[in-house]
Structure 1
Amino acid sequence: MSANLIGFCPHGHLVCGPATLKTGWLALALINSFVRIPFLVLRQMVLPLPRMGVLETDVIPMRVWPNNIDFNLHLNNGSYLSVMDYGRLHLLARAGVLKPILKARWAPVVGAVWMTYRRSLPLFGRFELATRLVCWDERWFYMEQVFTGDAGLVAIGWVKGALLKGSVTVAPQQVMELVQPGIMSPPLPESIQIWNELTREKLDGVR
């Protein structure tokens, strides 16, 4: 592909050649989840990403673009969550989970997110997003996502998500059996158990 056109890097990201970058705004739009995620799905259908185990960690190199920043000129809080959406989909694609999800038309939903911020990511700063599946129970998948920049740890997020068929939750074990028959969830860490308890208390308090 010409260096002036749009293409895919080995990690499944859309990239632009030098001439396109000089034009500006098109390159900025590529970081948007409404473009990036559909293109990842299409790319996976045509040229699948390298396969990895469902319990391995998927690491993606990324960069902070102008449409991801706030008035402090660093990655804003909302953009962290959008980047994490992409990271989880990237993991599902590489682990072989995305294909059965699309085939069954299951809808992914997020039940809760817990974020801890340590450092900021400046405009045009490079960083890595590491995503791993920690465990699952009868309803939820639990994932950990870690942002790392040049200075070290930037942020850590815990996400619990589920798959729905209409209004019915698909059992995570059912999903995992399609990818790796016989696999069992690692034990639920005590920290995630406490998080679940705190979430239940919060929800009970507003009912």
Structure 2
Amino acid sequence: MTRQISLALATYLPRKAVPGQTIVDPSITRTRVRPGDLDIYLHVNNAVYLNMMDTARSNLLADCGGMKTLNAKGWYPVVAASTVKYKRSLVLWDPVVVTTRVLGWDPRIAYLEQTITVRGELSARGIVAGRFLGKGGVRVPAPDVVELLGGPGTSPELPDDVMTWARAVDVAHR
């Protein structure tokens, strides 16, 4: 439950924008493993990783000053697909760093990479295909969101593994 509160705060009371930060710059979210994050095996439940990543994506938007701009338009992010590879368990009180970066976009989807590290060691890597919706569920093209947030006019080339995954889960632009 406390992770849901963290997400709500990151979304509705976002942290201050980082001067000079753009939507394509990496965003850092720091947290710590709490007792409520643990499952019966005393390591972080897989759903908690996803919740940490949700909060970190809200922080990415806040860091570039995008939350107010998006809210004014009535646009909001949703996850179209995601995948996570877990490499190392997180345990109680571990200091967690979630690094979120936009890898690129196509006409529909923005692709992000999120890594979770503890003391510089990779614990998990997630790939997220995100969309934006507007009032009434209207789909907002990813390039429109990037432009609104001051990003570059063209997408960086997406890594091969991300494009292969996007096609496999049927989110890639056709």
Q: TM-score, normalising length from structure 2?
A: 0.88
What runs of 5+ residues in structure 2 fail to find an aligned partner? none
- Cα distance, 1:39–1:181 mapped onto 2, change above 3 Å: closer
SS at match of 1:175: helix
Q: What's the offset of the Cα at 1:182?
A: 5.2
CA distance, structure 1, for counterparts of residue 151 and residue 30 of structure 2 = 31
- Cα distance, 1:181–1:88 mapped onto 2, change above 3 Å: closer
Q: What's the offset of the Cα at 1:193?
A: 1.3
What is the aligned partner in structure 2 of residue 21 from structure 1?
A: none
Q: What's the offset of the Cα at 1:136?
A: 0.7
Q: Contact 2:44–2:90 at 8 Å: present in 1 too?
A: yes
User: Which structure 2 residues correspond to residues 34-73 of structure 1 after superposition, within 5 A?
Assistant: 35-44=5-14, 48-51=16-19, 52-73=21-42
| Higher Rg | 1
What runs of 5+ residues in structure 1 fail to find an aligned partner? 1-28, 202-207
Q: What's the offset of the Cα at 1:183?
A: 2.7
What do the CA deviations read for 1:151-204 (whole angstroms, capped 9, x no partner)?
711000000110112232101111122222653211122111100221139xxx
What is the aligned partner in structure 1 of residue 169 from structure 2?
A: 199
CA distance, structure 1, for counterparts of residue 157 and residue 49 of structure 2 = 27
CA distance, structure 1, for counterparts of residue 160 and residue 67 of structure 2 = 28
What is the aligned partner in structure 2 of residue 78 from structure 1?
A: 47
Percent identity over the alignment is 32
What is the aligned partner in structure 1 of residue 65 from structure 2?
A: 96
SS at match of 1:99: helix
Q: Contact 2:79–2:128 at 8 Å: present in 1 too?
A: yes
What is the aligned partner in structure 1 of residue 116 from structure 2?
A: 147
CA distance, structure 2, for counterparts of residue 81 and residue 200 of structure 1 = 21
Q: What's the offset of the Cα at 1:115?
A: 0.6
What is the aligned partner in structure 2 of residue 204 from structure 1?
A: none
RMSD value over aligned CA atoms?
1.9
Give the AA of the match of 1:126: P
CA distance, structure 2, for counterparts of residue 37 and residue 181 of structure 1 = 24
Larger relative contact order (CA 8 Å, sep ≥ 6): 2
Runs of 4+ deviating beyond 3 Å = 41-44
What is the aligned partner in structure 2 of residue 32 from structure 1?
A: 3
Q: Contact 2:24–2:102 at 8 Å: present in 1 too?
A: yes
